[in-house]
Every structure is written in C-alpha cells, then in structure tokens.
C-alpha cells in the first residue's frame, strides 16, 4: 500500500476522499483493489449496526433499582443469619474467650499468689512487712504525742 493511500484511507472510507488519493487510485491498481476491499468491509460493518438504538423495556430501571434496594436492606441484618458468617463469628468468639482466659490464669500476679500460698511462704510471711498503713499510723501516733506533749 502506498503512503498516500495509507494516510488518506480513513477519509476515503468515510466518504470524503482526498482528490490526490482518487487520482492515485485511478493510476495504481494495487491501491485501488485494497481500497475496494476496505470499502466492502466497512460497508459490511455498517450493515451490522442496528437501525435504531435499542431501548430497555419500560420500567426496567425502576425494577433494577427496586431489586438493589431490597437486597441492600435485607443484607445488613441477614449477614448475621448467614451460616458461614455465623460459624466464623462463633469460632472467633470461642478463640477470643480462650485467649482471654489463658491470659487471666497465667498472669504474673496469679503466680505470686500461688507461690505465697505454699506452707513455707505462709510461715515466712507470718511477720507482716511494714506497710504504708502502718507507717501512716506511726506518723499519726508521733503527731498526737507531739501535740499532746506536756512537760
């Protein structure tokens, strides 16, 4: 295909041929045959196009929107009734409960309680260590003694 035909073929098929291309087609047999074949294909494609644009049946959009709305409104609550989702929710809850239980019973605080509940520890801890309450009581006692001190 000659360059002039390649450049002007689109206009030729659209029905607006370049005069220079028409002149070339009159002289060049190869380009004339190619252009004729392209024209035949373009005509066939054009014949496939429907005569008028297809319109959906009346009320089609309304029915589609109704369907979308009904599915949307039911899906919010029905998601909990879906067997697969409910099963997964139950599994996740059980695993979370087990995990929290393990965390609760293996906390360091609990270990300390268990250790101090052995007989040796109870015997050792019979003398209570000095606590903040005792310190406060001692302070109050000293304060009372100081304020009521009389020579």
Query: 3-class DSSP state for residue 34?
Result: helix
Of these, 13, 17, 28, 38, which contacts Zn ion (CB under 5 A)? 28
25 binds Zn ion (CB under 5 A): no
35 binds Zn ion (CB under 5 A): no
Query: 3-class DSSP state for residue 27?
Result: helix
Of all helices (H) and strands (E), which one includes residue 147?
Answer: helix 132-147
CB of 46 to Zn ion, least distance (A): 25
Q: Which stretch binds Zn ion (CB under 5 A): 22-30, 46-54, 79-87, 114-122?
A: 22-30
Q: What is the C-alpha to C-alpha distance for residues 4 and 18, in angstroms, rounded to an integer? A: 9
- Name the residue with tokens 């054009």: 46
Of these, 2, 13, 39, 42, which contacts Zn ion (CB under 5 A)? 2
* Chain residues in the site for Zn ion (CB under 5 A): 2, 28, 31
């Amino acid at each position: 295909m000659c360059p002039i035909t390649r450049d002007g073929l689109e206009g030729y098929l659209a029905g607006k041929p370049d005069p220079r291309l028409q002149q070339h087609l009159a002289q060049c047999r190869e380009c004339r045959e190619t252009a004729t074949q392209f024209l035949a294909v373009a005509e066939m494609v054009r014949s496939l196009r429907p005569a008028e644009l297809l319109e959906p049946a009346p009320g089609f959009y309304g029915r589609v929107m109704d369907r979308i709305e009904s599915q949307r409104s039911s899906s919010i609550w029905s998601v909990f009734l879906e067997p697969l989702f409910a099963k997964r929710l139950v599994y996740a809850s059980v695993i979370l409960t087990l995990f929290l239980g393990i965390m609760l019973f293996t906390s360091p605080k609990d270990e300390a309680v268990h250790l101090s509940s052995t007989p040796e520890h109870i015997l050792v801890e019979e003398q209570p260590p000095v606590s903040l309450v005792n310190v406060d009581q001692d302070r109050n006692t000293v304060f009372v003694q100081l304020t009521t001190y009389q020579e």
